[in-house]
Amino acid sequence: MKTGYAAKIAFNNIRKNYRFYIPHVLTGTGLQACFYIMLTLSMDKRLSQVKGGSVLPFFMTVGAAVMALLSVMLIFYTNSFLMKQRKREFGLYNVLGMEKRHIGRILFFETLYSAAASIILGLLLGVLFYKLCSLFICRLFQTDIVLGFYFIKANTLIPAAMSFIVLYFLTYIFNRISISRMKPVELLKSGASGEKEPRTKWIMLIAGIISLGAGYYQSLSIKDPLSALTWFFIAVFLVIIGTYFLFTAGSIFVLKALKKNSRFYYHAERMTAVSGLIYRMKQNAVGLASIAILATGVLIMISSTVSLYSGMQGTLDNTYAQHMYITADYVDENGETVLIPAEDMEGMIRNVSDKYSCKVLAVEEQEYFDAVYVMNGCDFELVSDQSASTDLSGLCDIYFITADMYEDLTGTRIALEDNEIAICRISSSIGHTKTPDKAVTIGGRGFIVKEHLVYFPISAGMGNVVTCYGAVLPNNEIMDAVFADQQIAYGKDASHYYHRTAVTFEDIETVSKNGDDIQESLYRNIADYALEHNARNGECSTRVDSVWEAKENILGMYGALLFLGILLGLVCIFATVLIIYYKQISEGYEDRERFQIMKKIGMSDAETRKTIRTQSLFIFFLPLIVAGIHTLFAFPILNRMMQLMMLSSTGLYIICSVITYIVFAIIYLLIYRATSKTYYKIVRL
């Protein structure tokens, strides 16, 4: 066979089988575009230099790796569907005298045409939408737009194209080997395979129940946020295995049970649907399980990233009671560390703020210390070995101030005896739901809880994943005694007193725009102050922690995660559409002959529609229900992981999860209604 003739046959084959090839080409186009976008984002130096963009290369590199994995799975899935539909045709070619090497040549050109179309269209689409994606990212980062089309470069276009060229070449090799190993008779009969009624696989059924139960148990039982991060992936693996096993073995078990129920089974539409599904459940199960896993992925990715981004302001409000914290000291000629006096520090702060037209509402001097304890009922016990404590569920962090300091910071006086304390929960973590009510022991010292505070003037640090409390002690003597207890217990790992200046501004938006300049000016002024006061070799230490700098970092992390979650979520939705579409076409061609026979013996079009609708209720909405159950059981471990990501509100996460499920369910319904029309058209031909 001449090469030109093989190329012509391949082109005609694609044209005649457009219903199969168009989704295959569109799949490759979309995957190529998404892969190019993520790969280019991971290498875009201009975007990585904007405020918050420093984390973008890491997250986009991870996203590109995930996209590569999804691309392999989906391209091979669509290829396997194409081969299943075409094997009878190839078998006919073989019977009519065409050798397998000729069929291989036709396959090569079919792969070449579809690959070229997918890669070229995908790169064009990727270049077209990359600018839109970069604008969206800048919007998420709340920063200036990066202008220009500088990103169209060979170092991203060529690797993206070569990756998919290799992928399509592997599919061709796989197809070539598959065809070469099959006899003409097997090729002709391949479309009729899978018609043997499957047996109930009890071992697989039991293994699926155990695997799924173990995954759910891990999610419900893990209390430590750090352990949740590790066990999450193990739980995901167990749930995936359990899902595939239960769809394969459990669905057959359920369908056979329905078949034995004569009251349910002996209805025209139910009998046709159940009897048809039970014979092809093995191939159905894998596709339906894949839909359930993909749907779960969409729900988790979208709900978690949206809740993190939308809850960002709450995270900042919980962490920063004031807008800026400054700690500054210098080393004098005698080698002693000297704190800059409060009045001098306040003067520098107000001068710098006035320079940039930023009004200061309050400047406060804060003195406190915090220490880690193990919470045992109403007792806060010192940890004997902090390095050996890996379970965070029992740990808490207590911030201590005196009653005088509380009055200075809030203007409210709390009268406390030596054995009394006022306590406040600053932040919560999984595992702690109760604040000591009447009495409490801290490091072996007993106190009566006189008052539960609603507000504590010292905020917990960013990224604190344990429950944080604030405690007001009666006086400096008691505070020094509690401080000494933790010094004795922890030694070199003990906490120390913090002296910092807290600043509250009137208009935080104006301050944020000049935040970098304000901080830079403060650094210079403090350094000049240290030199004026004879600092040894000009040695000074200045630490500035501001809400606008923290917001910039959080915007970068949460914004990158949100973009990644949206893009991967769209890919998973597209994969779900693809699987459902191919399943409808595949089952349509398999069911057409059966329904035509039923029509000849009296089944009407209305009864056919009822049968299709019954089949939908049995099977196609099961993945949506399973995805909802998976998400529900995954919520506890995901919520613990959100603690590591500084999510401020569990309620917000619940709301985002519910809304995401409702929206996805509507999309799923629309997808199914559209694809079921294709199925019905095929069946009634």
Q: What mean pLDDT is predicted for residues 641-646?
A: 74
Tokens of 671: 């997808």
What does 316-378 look like in DSSP terms, one character per residue? HHHH-SSSEEEEEEEE-TTS-EEEPPHHHHHHHHHHHHHHTT--EEEEEEEEEEEEEEEEETT
Angle between helices 100-141 and 547-600 (to 10 degrees): 140
Tokens of 248: 């394969």
Among 43-47, 430-434, 493-497, 564-568, which is the least confidently predicted range?
430-434
What does 2-15 look like in DSSP terms, one character per residue? -HHHHHHHHHHHHH
Q: What mean pLDDT is predicted for residues 376-396?
A: 68
pLDDT at 432 over 70: no
Q: What is the distance between the alpha carbons of residues 400 and 426, in angstroms, rounded to a whole number? A: 12
Instruction: Provide the pLDDT for residue 166.
Output: 93
Q: What mean pLDDT is predicted for residues 113-127?
A: 92
Instruction: State pLDDT tens for residues 648-671.
Output: 677 888 999 999 999 999 988 888
What does 58-119 look like in DSSP terms, one character per residue? HHHHHHHHHHHHHHHHHHHHHHHHHHHHHHHHHHHHHHTT--HHHHHHHHHHHHHHHHHHHH
φ, ψ for residue 397 (rounded to 5)?
-120, 125
Q: Which among 62, 70, 26, 60 is positioned nearest to 130, based on CA atoms?
A: 60
Q: Where in the chain are the domains?
A: 1-193, 325-543
Instruction: State pLDDT tens for residues 228-273.
Output: 777 888 888 899 898 888 888 877 777 777 777 777 766 655 666 6
Instruction: Provide the pLDDT for residue 168.
Output: 92
Instruction: Provide the pLDDT for residue 387.
Output: 46
CB 614 within 8 A of CB 270: yes
* Single-letter amino acid, residue 83: M
pLDDT bucket at 621, cuts 50 / 70 / 90: confident
pLDDT at 683 over 70: no
φ, ψ for residue 336 (rounded to 5)?
-90, 145
Q: Which among 359, 318, 404 is positioned nearest to 503, based on CA atoms?
A: 359
Max mean pLDDT range (66-70, 79-83, 535-539): 66-70
* Single-letter amino acid, residue 328: A
Q: What is the distance between the alpha carbons of residues 195 and 628, in angstroms, rounded to a whole number? A: 32
Residues facing residue 376 across a β-bridge: 379
Instruction: State pLDDT tens for residues 131-176.
Output: 888 888 888 877 777 776 677 788 889 999 999 999 999 998 988 8
Q: b vs e for 266-283, b when ≥16 Cβ sit within 10 Å of the residue's Cβ?
A: eebbbbbbbebbbbbbbb
> How deeply is 12 buried, as exposed, middle or buried, from its count of CB atoms within 10 A (0-12, 13-18, 19+)?
exposed
Instruction: Provide the pLDDT for residue 430.
Output: 47
Task: Give percent of the chain with pLDDT exceeding 90.
Answer: 12
